[in-house]
Structure 1
Amino acid sequence: MSSKVRWGVLSTAQIGTKQVLPAMRKGERIELLGLASRDEAKAREAADALGIPRAYSSYEALLADPDIEAVYNPLPNHLHVPLTIQALEAGKHVLCEKPIALSAGEAETLVEASKRTGRLVAEAFMVRHHPQWRRARDVVREGRLGEVKAIHTLFSYYNADPGNIRNQADIGGGGLYDIGCYAISTARFLFGAEPARVVAAFDFDPAMGTDRMASGLAEFPGHRHLAFTCSTQLVPAQRVEVLGTKGRLTVEIPFNAPNDRPTRITVDDGRDHFGSGREVIEIPTVDQYTLQGDAFSAAVRGEAPLEWGIEDAVLNMRVIDAFFRSGRNGGWEAV
């Protein structure tokens, strides 16, 4: 194996310091070299806590460091595109948190920037690297469920803090951007196709202006459907059900898969309502953030292809855009 990829991190965002970076430290292909914040003291404190040797008082200083090869961007949503472009132009590859942008048009500017700079960009949908999702896709492809016609997805948590970036409409807050994007991405992953049209219903928080609940229906070719509800102000819950003509599959903890215990998917042939035809498939313990970081690093080194590049992120954003248009117009919208 070639040398580890030297990574820099933009900001001390909690998704990074609490989840992604501790996992990346365990990666076989990853060296966490630097962390930047606009507050130097915060940068130093976070870097020390994570064992990262270099701390920077600005994002620009990190991007100017020639030793940094790849950048992880967990900044607030409205900063994903501008800072990713800055990183690309500084010669860095970029793994950017979801959503990659606030519109497909914004995301398309990253396609041009990636081509112009010759650097890789990917959206950090870590779930696609978890073997439970790869196993679920195998089950679908093997035909064990018959013809798969419907996916039902639920993802919710409760956060009504107006100071939280997820609840600030002007910087890209709201449930569809934050967690509804997972329902779209994983349905595209399992169906292996793009939806043709969508329809949605939204409930917006009257004080914060963010979508606190969104429900949607996406029609894929062959009259296959994704139906989902996501919410930032409901009891924490998540589940994915995949239904075919001969069986159904359940992903029990589809998105926040634990890194300290196995996960489970179940396949049921539907012979009765009591689970007599149920098979439980246990997936060994992994950390999906570690797998994601190692996969991106392998692509940087040219040792493996980048499975989901910036073009895939644009496709996901087009579906999100269509859902928002449907919410405004009250009917079906083409993707």
Structure 2
Amino acid sequence: MKKTINWGVLGAAAIATGRTMPALNEAPSATLLALASRDGAKGRAAAEALGVPRVYASYDELLADPDIDAVYVPLPNQLHLEWSVRALEAGKHVLCEKPLCLTAAQVTQLCAVRDRSGLHIEEGFSFRNHPQWAKLDDLLASNAIGPVRAVHATLAKQFLDPADVRNNPAAGGGALYDLGSYAISACNLIFKRQPTRVVAALEHDPAFGIDRLSSALLDYGDRHAAFTVATQAGPSSWGSHQQLSVLGATGWLRLDFPYAHGRPSACRIELGDATSVGSFPTETFTFEPVNQYTLQVERFSRLLLGHQEASWPIEDALGTLRTIEALFESGRSGAWQVLPRP
């Protein structure tokens, strides 16, 4: 019986070499077998530093390797669809960085390829693997704060490098695609569905052309969510500013580091119940530093090996992209946009 999943990585992007590839080396159920890079020197250097035994000069060469079981796709956003499709068609399972695609239509196309191939594909939101999200689910399921009424989210960081793909509109740059996808995904995880309609205010960088300050109101019918994401606000350090709060009928929850942990960090969930005053919590749940990327590839690998593990269908990405598209249209029109039914 197979004990580990052999992984290949398409491209030596910073998130791959700095986070996911080290995680693949740490995860007991994963074996980092191959790296493909169109930049030969960069690929060889990354492979040597990370102990990768096989290095390919093209992505197609890696996909043709019969020993590769799963492929990680950290390529620029506009290449996610193409290489996820190629990997599935080559018989490989796929973990693709977020956002999975640039449009909802692309996600629909990817769902069809997945169904045809019978293989597994997920969007690489590492935050979903953090134990604080399992605890959040438990608290909501136990009615700790009553029925959820609203969610508020904020993410911000200084992305000022003109060469950063986040500042390239053609590559899916901007606050909504990069940071907004976290906020929308989190809201949909909490509400277990996509919103029915949305409205947005977007402010664009005059030089880059990307949305650099985006605020949105999401209407879930009997529940609401609001978020602000910004690529030229907050800190310029290794981690973005992040907050998430959940307002319930009888209390509230607040997460101080809910999304991407660029470095494993301690974090907490604060709970306020019917007896709390102001923003002072009644109870606090603390979490020691964990590597979300290692948890992600270990869970994914164990799932492929036949173990009972959580997984998130890429239909979740369909709801996220429908929301992003509607928010861009709302920003242009200034009007509410109704989302298509799932």
TM-score normalised over the length of structure 2 = 0.93
Aligned-residue offset at 1:329: 1.6
Deviation at 1:273, TM superposition (A): 2.4
Q: Does 1:288 align with 2:288?
A: no
Offset, 1:285: 3.0
Give the conservation status (yes or no) of the 8 Å contact 1:122–1:313: no
Residue 178 (structure 2) aligns with: 178
Alpha carbons 1:126, 1:289 under 8 Å: kept: yes
Q: Which residue pairs with 1:62 in the alignment?
A: 62
Q: Secondary structure in 2 aligned to 1:256? A: coil
Match status 1:273 vs 2:278? yes
Choose 70-79 or 144-153, whichever is displaced more: 144-153
Listed one character per residue, the Cα deviations across residues 296-325 of structure 1 (whole Å, up to 9, x for unaligned) are 112222323562122222222111111112
Indicate the RMSD between aligned Cα atoms, in angstroms: 1.5
2:234 is matched with which residue? Answer: 235
Matched residue, 2:113: 113
Q: Say if 1:238 and 1:255, in contact at 8 Å, map to a contact too.
A: yes
Query: Identity of counterpart residues, as a percentage?
Result: 44
* Secondary structure of 1:158 counterpart: coil
Output the CA distance in 2 between the equivalents of 1:81 and 1:309. 16
Q: Distance in 1 between matches of 2:245 and 2:314?
A: 28
| Rounded Cα–Cα distance in structure 1 between residues aligned with 2:123 and 2:105 | 15
Does the aligned pair in 1 maintain the 2:299–2:310 contact within 8 Å?
yes
Task: Pick which of 321-330 and 295-304 moved more.
Answer: 295-304
Alignment correspondent of 2:267: 263
CA shift digits 1:25-80 (9 cap, x unpaired)? 21121100011110111111111111111111111111111111100001000000
Give the residue type in structure 2 aligned to 1:68: I
Q: Which residue of 1 aligns with 2:213?
A: 213
Where 1:91 maps in the other structure, the secondary structure is: coil
Name the structure 2 match of 1:18: 18
Letter in 1 for 2:106: E
* C-alpha deviation, 1:13, in angstroms: 0.6
Please name the residue that 2:327 is paired with. Answer: 323
Shift in alpha-carbon separation, 1:239–1:87, aligned structure 2, 3 A: same
* Paired residue type of 1:35: L
Equivalent pair of 1:252/1:265 in contact (CA under 8 Å) = yes
Provide the C-alpha distance between the structure 1 equivalents of 2:109 and 2:167, rounded to a whole number of angstroms.
26
Q: Which amino acid aligns with 1:232?
A: T
Distance in 2 of aligned mates of 1:266 and 1:258: 22
Structure 1 stretches of 5 or more lacking a match?
A: none
Does the aligned pair in 2 maintain the 1:156–1:238 contact within 8 Å? yes
Q: Distance in 2 between matches of 1:139 and 1:131?
A: 12
- Displacement, 1:151? 0.7
C-alpha distance in 1, partners of 2:260/2:312? 20
Amino acid at match of 2:28: E
CA contact (8 A) 1:249 1:266 kept: yes
The alpha-carbon distance between structure 1 residues 119 and 274, as it changes in their structure 2 partners (threshold 3 A), is closer
Aligned to 1:146: 146
Distance between the aligned counterparts of 1:260 and 1:84, measured in 2? 28
Contact 2:194 2:220 in 1 (8 A): yes
Matches within 5 A, 1:8-87: 8-87=8-87
| Aligned counterparts of 1:151 and 1:12: Cα–Cα separation in 2 | 36
The alignment of Structure 1 onto Structure 2 pairs a total of residues equal to 333
What secondary structure sits across from 1:190 in the alignment? helix
Q: Do structure 1's residue 249 and structure 2's residue 253 form an aligned pair?
A: yes
Measured in 2, the distance between the counterparts of 1:258 and 1:86 equals: 29
Q: Which secondary structure does the structure 2 equivalent of 1:25 belong to? A: helix
Q: Please give the alpha-carbon distance, in whole angstroms, between the structure 2 residues aligned to 1:138 and 1:10.
A: 36
TM-score, scaled to structure 1: 0.95
- Matched to 1:279, the amino acid is E
For residues 157-208 of structure 1, what are the alpha-carbon distances to aligned partners after superposition, in whole Å with 9 as ceiling and x for unaligned? Answer: 0011111111011111111101110111111111122211111111111111
